[in-house]
Amino acid sequence: MKLIGMIGVFGVAAGLAWADPSAERGEYLVRGPAGCGNCHTPLGPEGPIARQELAGRLVEENDAFTAIAPNLTPASRIADWSDAELGRAIRDGLRPDGSLIGPPMPYAMYRGLSDDDVASMVMFLRTLAPVENDPGSSAYRIPLPPAYGPPVGTVSAPDPGVTAEYGAYLAGPVAHCMECHTPFGPHGPMLETDLGRGGFAFFGPWGVSVAPNITPHEDGIGKYADADLAAMITRGERPGGIPMLPPMPYGYLAQMTGDDLAAIILYLRSLPPLADKG
């Protein structure tokens, strides 16, 4: 069954569109495909703590770093940052004082966010209720570069629609699927040679989960129907109801419109097929 003819099975809305930056668009991105709360919202025994949405938490601690996702509500220091400074932090990874925001913030992807979408995300963050929470500060035991690249200039997104081109924008800069699902080398995700090949390991309370191959090779998504992929992306459920592991932000991805989900799947089908690395 073709994806475009079966949007209704996804259980998500379709047809939303934004002509200009808006807090509504920002809310859709932050609470939907960008999944910012997957790192920035504190977790309790039952999952994200709603009353502390985006108030910051410890994300990862390993030999290389202790990563703390900061409080993004107006109770934090970002209340004193200008909109341009907050947008620069999101996309360039630089604070107003010029210091670098370290991993795991996915700047290899976020540098491709459009001007309008960054503005929308900033607008939405400004509407949040202030939540008093100090999650601490990150510590890095590895050298960090002075910057992730030259300053980001003007960036435009492809026209929204059920196209592989727009799907590439959603799966890359917005939802950063391609960073987690691409093997890491000495200089970060190997996007030029191994895009979507999988293999990156995540360690958490659940144990170890390995990002799977999402190219159309038989080792990847080639064996799945579009409806299977939709369930895996939005519900974390393989065919037969087999549950998938964190840290994939299923609850956030479930908020995507049907058209956006369809575009992502079209894009994944268009990738060069790559076998799993032995």
CA dihedral 113, 115, 121, 122 (to 10 degrees): 130
Q: What are phi and psi of 170, to 5 degrees?
A: -70, -45
pLDDT at 11: 37
142 token code pair: 């590895």
Can you give the pTM of this predicted structure? Answer: 0.92
Q: Strand ranges (DSSP E) for 23-94?
A: 43-44, 47-48, 57-61, 65-69
- 3-class secondary structure per residue, 94-125: ECCCCCECCCCCCHHHHCCCCHHHHHHHHHHH
Domain boundaries, the chain: 23-140, 157-270
**What is the model's pLDDT at position 4?**
35
Q: Fold match between 23-140 and 157-270? A: yes
pLDDT tens by residue, the chain, 278 residues = 333 333 333 334 444 566 689 999 999 999 999 999 999 999 998 889 999 999 999 999 989 999 999 999 999 999 999 999 999 999 999 999 999 999 999 999 999 999 999 999 999 999 999 999 999 999 999 999 999 999 999 999 999 999 999 999 999 999 999 999 999 887 778 999 999 999 988 887 888 999 999 999 999 999 999 999 999 999 999 999 999 999 999 999 999 999 999 999 999 999 999 999 86
What is the pLDDT, as a whole number, of residue 256? 97
Q: DSSP label at 79?
A: G
pLDDT of residue 9: 34
> Which has the closest alpha carbon to 224: 235, 214, 211?
214
Cα–Cα distance measured from residue 226 to residue 262, given in angstroms and rounded to the nearest whole number: 9
CATH code for the structural domain at 23-140: 1.10.760
Q: Which CATH class is domain 157-270?
A: mainly alpha
* CA pair distance 118, 174, nearest whole angstrom: 10
Say how far apart CA 68 and CA 56 lie, in whole Å.
7
Q: Tell me which DSSP letter residue 151 carries.
A: P
Q: Is the dihedral of CA 24, 25, 29, 32 positive or negative?
A: positive
